[in-house]
Amino acid sequence: MAQQEDIFKKVVSHCKEYGFVFPSSEIYDGLGAVYDYGQNGVELKNNIKQYWWQYMVLLHENIVGIDSAIFMHPTIWKASGHVDAFNDPLIDNRDSKKRYRADVLIEEQIAKYDEKIEKEVAKARKRFGDAFDEAQYRATSPRVLEETAKRDALHKRYQDVMNAPGGIDLEGMRQIIIDEEIACPISGTRNWTDVRQFNLMFKTEMGAAAEGASTIYLRPETAQGIFVNYLNVQKTGRMKLPFGIAQIGKAFRNEIVARQFIFRMREFEQMEMQFFVKPGTELQWFEEWKKRRMAWHQALGFGAENYRFHDHDKLAHYANAATDVEFKMPFGFKEVEGIHSRTDFDLSQHAKYSGKKIEYFDPDENKSYTPYVIETSIGVDRMFLSVICHSYCEEQLEGGDVRTVLRLPAALAPVKLAVFPLTKKDGLPEKAREIIDELKFHFNCKYEEKDQIGKRYRRQDAIGTPFCVTVDNQTLEDNTVTLRYRDTMEQKRVAISDLRGIIEDQVSIPSLLKNLK
C-alpha cells in the first residue's frame, strides 16, 4: 500500500512537471480542489473526450449530442431535487478541525473488514498450496467467520441508516462511527461533532440587484440540460424511442472533502448520456448499457482485472437500479462512472414544475407516455486520472538506468510523433521541419533539437509520445529516417514516405474504437 501511495505522489508531481495538470491560481498559492490542464494535459483530455464522443454519438445511430448552458432556470434544480436533497452528510473532528463525509468514513470501515478477510484467505492459500479449498475455508475458519459477521452487521446497519424512512438517519450515522471506534486519521482521536447535511451547489446572482436579481446555481451535473431539452431534440430530430442524448460539459460541486488530486474537484467535467426508453424495458437497457460501457473502458487495453461493477446499496428514491464502474487507482478501486436507471422521475418532475406536457407519442401503440431513462455518467477528470495512473511506469533499464515512461494508449497520447534532427547543422533541421510540415495535418507532431538524442527520447517517453523519428545525414541521401518505438525502444530505418502509413492508423481514435467491434 505504501508503495502504491508513493506512486500516486509521483504521478501528481509528474503531471505538474510535464505540463499535464497544474494547481489552479498557483502563483496565489492555489485554490482548493480546482486544477488547470497544461499543454499536454489538454491534449490528453481532448482525446479522452473524443474517444467517448465518437463511441457514443458517431457509432450509435440513435444517439445525438447537445451542448446546453451552464446557467439554467433555478426551478430546474427544485424540480430535480437538488435544492432539497443534494447533500452530503458531514462530520467534523474537534481536535484536527478536519471535516469528513460520514458515509465515506463508514464505507472505508467496511472496506477494512473486507481487507482483513481477504488477507486471512490469502495467508491460508499460501499455507495450504494446491490443496487449498477456498470455499470450505471461508465457511469454516473462525477468524474469517468472525470478521465476516462484523462486516455484515455493519453493512446492514449502514443500509438501514441510509434508507431510513424520513431520509438519512444522521444520528444513527454518528452512532455507527462511535461504535466502530473510527478515529480521525490526522488527530487519531474520536472527538466527533454531530453529522450535518451540507448542500453541494454553488450559487450566484443573475442580473443587477436593483432589477430584482435572482439566485441561480452553477449546474452540479450536465444531465438536467438534457432532460429540459428532451422535447426540443425529440421533435426537431424526429427521434424514435429508444434514443439517447449525449453531452460533455463542466459541472460544479462545493465538495467539502476535496482530496486526492483531480479525483474530487469543485469544478470538473462530465460526459453524460441519457437514453430514453419505453417503460418496462429499462432494466434490459440498464444491463445493455453496463455491458457497452464496460467494453468501452476495457478497449483501452488496461486489463479486465482493473475494473469492477459496484452496485449501489442506497438507491435514490426514483432509481430502480444503479451501479458504478470502478477502476483500480493507486488508492484502491474507485468510481469512475455511474450507470443509473432513473425511471421517469426527471421528465415527470419537469412536466410538473413547468406545466408542459413532456411525453412521447408511440406510433406503434398509438398512445403517449413518459419515457424511462438510463443514464451513463462519467467524469472526464477521473477518467484522465485513471489513464495516467495506469500508464505511469518507472522502468529499470540495463546498466542501472531508470526510464520514466507514460505507456498511454497511442490514440490518447498528447503528441503522436516527435521529430529530431541529429544535429543542428547540415540542413538536418530543415529536413526535419519538412517532415513535420507534411504530417502535422494528420496528427500532432513536435519538433525538438535541444540536447542529445537520448535525452530527447526520455522527454518524449515522459509525456507518452508513441513514436520518435531522427533525421541524420543519411536522410539527406536516401530519404530514410530512424523510427523509434516508445514501449519497446526498438529502432528501425524507414522511408519518410512510409511514416504516415505506419503511424496514422495506430494513433487515431478509430484504432481504439475498432477494439469495440
CB of 422 to ligand ATP, least distance (A): 44
DSSP assignment of 271-334 equals: EEEEEEE-TT-HHHHHHHHHHHHHHHHHTT-S-GGGEEEEE-SS--TT-SEEEEEEEEETTEEE
Q: Could you tell me whether strands 243-252 and 63-65 are parallel, antiparallel, or unpaired per DSSP bridges? A: parallel
Cβ distance to ligand ATP smaller for residue 371 or 379: 379
Cell numbers that stand for 371 in this block: 419515457
Count of CB atoms within 10 A of residue 454's CB?
8
CB of 443 to ligand ATP, least distance (A): 28
With beta carbons less than 8 A apart as the criterion, state whether 290 and 321 touch. Answer: no
Cβ distance to ligand ATP smaller for residue 377 or 465: 377
Cβ distance to ligand ATP smaller for residue 82 or 350: 82
Using CA atoms, how far residue 457 sits from 400, 430, 488, in Å, is 17, 20, 12
CB of 377 to ligand ATP, least distance (A): 4
Nearest to 270 by CA among 378, 156, 133: 378
Q: How far apart are CA 363 and CA 361, in angstroms?
A: 6
CB of 493 to ligand ATP, least distance (A): 45
Q: How long is the chain? A: 517
CB of 189 to ligand ATP, least distance (A): 26
Instruction: Give the distance, in angstroms, between the CA of residue 41 and the centroid of all CA atoms in the same chain.
Output: 14
Cβ distance to ligand ATP smaller for residue 256 or 436: 256
Q: How far apart are CA 226 and CA 346, in angstroms?
A: 10
- Interface contacts to ligand ATP, rule CB under 6 A: 253, 255, 264-265, 268, 270, 335-338, 377-379, 381-382
Cβ distance to ligand ATP smaller for residue 337 or 346: 337
Cβ distance to ligand ATP smaller for residue 378 or 428: 378
Cβ distance to ligand ATP smaller for residue 321 or 445: 321
Cell numbers that stand for 68 in this block: 446546453
CB of 109 to ligand ATP, least distance (A): 16
Cβ distance to ligand ATP smaller for residue 377 or 391: 377
With beta carbons less than 8 A apart as the criterion, state whether 49 and 426 touch. Answer: no
Residues 6+ apart with CB under 8 A from 128: 137
CB of 380 to ligand ATP, least distance (A): 8
For ligand ATP, the nearest residue by Cβ is: 379
Cβ distance to ligand ATP smaller for residue 377 or 475: 377
CB of 31 to ligand ATP, least distance (A): 14
Task: Name the one residue in this structure whose C-alpha cell is 504521478.
Answer: 11
CB of 60 to ligand ATP, least distance (A): 20
Cβ distance to ligand ATP smaller for residue 231 or 316: 316
> Which residues are 321's β-sheet partners?
341
- Within a 13 Å sphere around the CA of 365, how many CA atoms are in the beta-carbon half? 10
CB of 375 to ligand ATP, least distance (A): 9
With beta carbons less than 8 A apart as the criterion, state whether 384 and 262 touch. Answer: yes
Q: How far apart are CA 42 and CA 46, in angstroms?
A: 6
Cell numbers that stand for 40 in this block: 499536454
Residue type (1 letter), 303: G
Which stretches does DSSP call E strand in 321-450? 321-329, 332-341, 360-362, 367-369, 372-379, 392-396, 402-406, 417-421, 445-447
